[in-house]
Structure 1
Amino acid sequence: MHDIEPYYKWRDQYIASEDRKSPFFGRDYSEFTFTKKIYNYYIHPQWDEFGSHTIYMKILYVDYNLGYCHIELIGEWNDCLHNDIMFIKREIADHLYQNGIRKFTLFCDNVLNFHGSDNSYYEEWLDDIAEDGGWICLVNTQDHVEMEMENAELQYYVNFGGIWNDISWQGKKPENLQLMIEGLMSQSAKGLSY
């Protein structure tokens, strides 16, 4: 797992540690010292910790004018034992929300497992942003992760599965990707699918 690094090809447009509005502003990273672990496996030092011991993230891109962000995740999303959604909501989403972000895309290609619990943080997160046209979208969840999310009834608060599971996002410009996601969101709201 140590060789899976966060997507870096948007760094010429956005770096969270250099963004004064980012919850990760001012962070320093090592390219050589591996200290963070998932299970017993070291992960790449570029991933950001935010309170959870099982899931890490990287804010890849934020557009404050248009109110959206793209975030990549890695690890085990465990609400049952570690209340990871509380950390995501309180430490990241609330911070970005206070700076005008209403549309959250989370890339889950590297989310290995999901263990659900109470839905109150998801409900609160959606309540915060929905009135302003906001949403939460989980892209490319693995099949077993999607099934666990459905069992936890996250589909009432978060968009995932179906059309959201086959998106080739790497290699696209972040603004073009956002247009594509907005289009899919519009189709989803109308009850359309591919």
Structure 2
Amino acid sequence: MHNIEPYSGWLKHYDSANDPLSPFHGKEYNYNLYSETIYGYYIDPAWDNFGSETLYLKTLFADYDLGYVILEFIGEWNDAINNDIMNLKRNILDELQLEGINKYILIGENVLNFHGSDDSYYEEWLEDVEDGWIVGIGFRDFVVEEMTNYNVDGYINFGGSLDIQNWRTVKPLSLCQAIDSLVMKRLGM
């Protein structure tokens, strides 16, 4: 797991450590020290801890004027034991919402498992986005299937034209705008 790094190709467009509105503003990364682990396996120091023992994230892009954020995840999303959605909601999403974020792109290529619980935090999150949306891209089929079993797909849009596999080949704002257009078509707007 220590070989899996968050996508760094957009650092010239956005760096959460340099963003005064980011929950990770001012964080200093020691790329020579591997200290964070998931189930005893070290992970790359570039991933950010938001209070979960098994799930980490990286903010790849944020545009507060347009309301977009792109979050990449690694690990096991475990709402049943660790209440990861609560930690994510209270420690990251609530702060982003206060800064005007209402359109969320979640990249889940490195989410290796999902364990669900109730959907109250997802429901709260969707209510908070008002005119926005939440989209998951790159999640493994069995993870989406398990999320669907817990009705998470009622809050996070997955699949179809939204599952953009080549997201790394476009600029972050272009990805946000493309997904926004696809969501609006899906909603018939």
Bucket of the pairwise TM-score, normalised by the shorter protein: over 0.9
Give the unaligned 5+ runs of structure 1. Answer: none
Change (3 A) 1:166 1:60: closer
Give the unaligned 5+ runs of structure 2. Answer: none
1:161 to 155, 159, 162: 159
In 2, Cα distance between equivalents of 1:187 and 1:72: 24
Any idea what SS the aligned residue of 2:76 has? strand
The residue aligned with 1:90 is 90
In 1, Cα distance between equivalents of 2:65 and 2:121: 26
User: Is the Cα contact below 8 Å between 1:75 and 1:112 reproduced in 2?
Assistant: yes
User: Is the Cα contact below 8 Å between 1:55 and 1:74 reproduced in 2?
Assistant: yes
The residue aligned with 1:50 is 50
Any idea what SS the aligned residue of 2:81 has? helix
> Structure 1 residue runs of 4+, over 4 Å off?
none
Matched, 1:28 2:28: yes
Residue 190 (structure 1) shift: 2.5
The residue aligned with 2:116 is 116
Matched, 1:149 2:147: yes
Any idea what SS the aligned residue of 2:58 has? strand
The residue aligned with 2:74 is 74
The residue aligned with 1:99 is 99
The residue aligned with 2:186 is 188
Matched, 1:178 2:176: yes
| Aligned residue identity for 1:63 | D
| Aligned residue identity for 2:16 | A
In 2, Cα distance between equivalents of 1:52 and 1:138: 19
Residue 19 (structure 1) shift: 0.7
User: Is the Cα contact below 8 Å between 1:140 and 1:164 reproduced in 2?
Assistant: no
Question: What's the C-alpha RMSD, in Å, of the aligned pairs?
Answer: 1.2
User: Is the Cα contact below 8 Å between 1:79 and 1:117 reproduced in 2?
Assistant: yes
In 1, Cα distance between equivalents of 2:109 and 2:26: 27
TM-score by length of 2: 0.96
Residue 164 (structure 1) shift: 3.0
Residue 171 (structure 1) shift: 2.2
| Aligned residue identity for 1:125 | W
TM-score by length of 1: 0.94
In 2, Cα distance between equivalents of 1:166 and 1:147: 18
Change (3 A) 1:21 1:70: same
| Aligned residue identity for 2:180 | E
Any idea what SS the aligned residue of 1:80 has? coil
In 1, Cα distance between equivalents of 2:155 and 2:4: 29
| Aligned residue identity for 1:187 | K
